[in-house]
Amino acid sequence: MTSPVYNFSAGPAVLFRSVLEKAQSELLDFANTGSSVMEISHRSKEFERVNDETEADLRALYNVPDNYKILFMQGGATAQFSAVVYNLIPGGKSQPADYVVTGAWSEKAVAEAKGLGAKVNVVCNTKASGHNGSVPPVSEWKFSPDAAFVFYVDNETIHGVEFPEFPFDAVPAGVPVVCDMSSNILSRPCDVSKYGVIFAGAQKNIGPAGVTVVIIREDLLSRKSPDFPCPVCLDYKICAANKSLYNTPPTFAIYLSGLVFKHLIAIGGIGAITAHNNRKAEVLYDAIEKSSGFYRCPVQPAYRSRMNLPFRIYKDGQPSEALESLFVKEAEARRMSQLKGHRSVGGIRASLYNALPLEASAALAAFMTEFAGKHA
């Protein structure tokens, strides 16, 4: 390779090079076993050590309280849309579950819950605005006082909407908050004690696709209702009781996630990666703002994501798909990949997950300025 490839993929996403090199060095002989970590038993002492260290390092990174369990589950984060219904509605189909809808993934969560027969109450919904971050004031949110939980997505990957801070104080007393944190977990500080459940697919900020992290408060492990018969592989209580080993876990994905956690600790933890991520986002938003309307981010400034930056290119007052296609093509020629926007919204999207270097944002910003100079 004569120059680096800057991978702006929304997921599976870029991984730290040093982590990949570490995995490469151990690929054929892990821990002097003479085998790959993918070839050893998930019940061996060698993998048990991997599993335990991975959990301990995540607990340290996020200061996870002792009364929370950390689970490594299969099925991707989308499977958790069903899992929270199966596990967390003790009142069954008569008890409401509250959902805050700010983008495509929270919409999908609502659809999944309704499909299972749950009584869904939509607290607020930004679909009418195209999910552009026009979140109504909390005073207008319509919570259920007896809700089984309040569900929200912290960062909407497709629409680029991220909560600067969730309004926990507005949630009715005793109602646990459930959060899909797939696309911004470990990217900034998080007070885990404010949540009932946090879950996140690994393939953006944690590791490779194949494992989903679930952080759950212990008192929520026994809330299942016979109205929602829970598949054994989605049962939080069984998973916790068996240290995520009831079913053969995605061993390589857990191992590589553990290497990522160790890397984050080594570079200074959440504080260091937060500063890194903030700077990457600032560089690109600055390029958009300085383009005199050539580039436009559709998301309201207060809710703009630091992880996923969607934008359109405008010509004569209208979005130009021709210029956007040209932009993506020329960016790829400069070894900047995966910039095409999600098929449902179009445009361009730059994903700036933890492992993406600052140099990538700087290179993209420089190209944006040059491209606008030619075509504005």
Q: Which residues are catalytic?
A: 105, 180, 204
Q: What is the Cα–Cα distance from 323 to 371, expressed in whole angstroms?
A: 10
Beta bridge partners of 295: 313
Task: List Cα–Cα distances, 199 to 72, 147, 153, 192, in angstroms.
Answer: 10, 19, 10, 11
Exposed/middle/buried for residue 375 (C-beta within 10 Å: 0-12, 13-18, 19+): middle
Task: List Cα–Cα distances, 321 to 93, 140, 158, 325, in angstroms.
Answer: 46, 37, 18, 6
Task: Give me 317's structure tokens.
Answer: 């007052």
Task: Give me 61's structure tokens.
Answer: 């990174």
304, 277 in Cβ contact below 8 A?
no
181, 198 in Cβ contact below 8 A?
yes
Beta bridge partners of 348: 311, 340
